[in-house]
Amino acid sequence: IRFLPLYNYADWSPENPPAVAFPPGSNYRGMQVRPLPTAEAFLDGLFRKLHPGATNVNVLERDPMREMVEGYQKQYGQMSAGLRQIGIPPDHYDAAGLTLEYDDGGVRYRQGLMVVIVDARGGAFSWRNERTLALRAPAAEAAAWKPVLDTIRQTQRLNPQWVAQVNRHVNERIRMAMETQQYLQRVEREIYEHRAQTHAQIRHDSYLFITGQQEFVNPF
């Protein structure tokens, strides 16, 4: 059983201004730049990363885990309403579970994977994986190992100080990303205003030239 860490990723998409300067694979404010995947696609990639030597892979079940998404929506409903009130799109959630069997190192395994993808692109150009879990046992013994792994999973205890530190750093990263977004918007606005002033001056000078006029007055 593996409890995999939460990672914050900077989203890459043509709609996001930072995407031009930070292509996929680069680093944006400490986050790897990576396009937002579906929860299923994330698990497919995670499996290949965890078990690159797996062969004869057979997917037994794909579960959208709607109850997990509903739980997140209920837990963060008040925060989402607050974000809407100040004009910031709230987070969106996508979850998935994957059950498969495969051969690895001469053993036939049964594997369970799950994840919740939190889409925070609306407010911070980022997304993250949460509750990422990987369980496996030899396929012939999976039925006997399942209650043991379920007990381990359901009785875990998190260190509250560690959780508080994670939340503090997540909030700090979101704040920095929002400041960057506001800076980029301000720069775009200033560029537009300067371009508009330049075009207006060009049009005015052209008008004076065509009509044979000039604004210059010789002071002597």
pLDDT of residue 49: 94
Average pLDDT rounded to a whole number, residues 205-215: 82
Q: Which tops the pLDDT comparison, 157 or 49? A: 49
| 89 phi and psi angles, rounded to 5 deg | -60, 135
- Under the banding of pLDDT at 50, 70 and 90, the label for residue 112 is very high
Phi–psi pair at 139, nearest 5 degrees: -55, -35
Strand 8-10 vs strand 55-63: parallel, antiparallel, or unpaired?
unpaired
pLDDT at 53 (0 to 100): 93
Which pLDDT score, from 0 to 100, does residue 18 have? 56
What's the mean pLDDT when you consider all of the chain?
87
Mean pLDDT of the 18-46 span: 85
What pLDDT does residue 215 have? 79
**What single-letter amino acid sits at 53?**
G
125: DSSP letter = S
Quote the radius of gyration of the chain (alpha carbons, Å). 26
H or E stretch including 56?
strand 55-63
| DSSP three-state, residue 6 | coil
What is the pLDDT, as a whole number, of residue 111?
96
* Cα angle, residue 75 at apex, residues 72 and 78 outer, rounded to 5°: 120
pLDDT at 200: 84
Whole-number pLDDT of residue 141: 94
User: pLDDT tens digits, residue range 130-155?
Assistant: 999 999 999 999 999 989 988 888 88
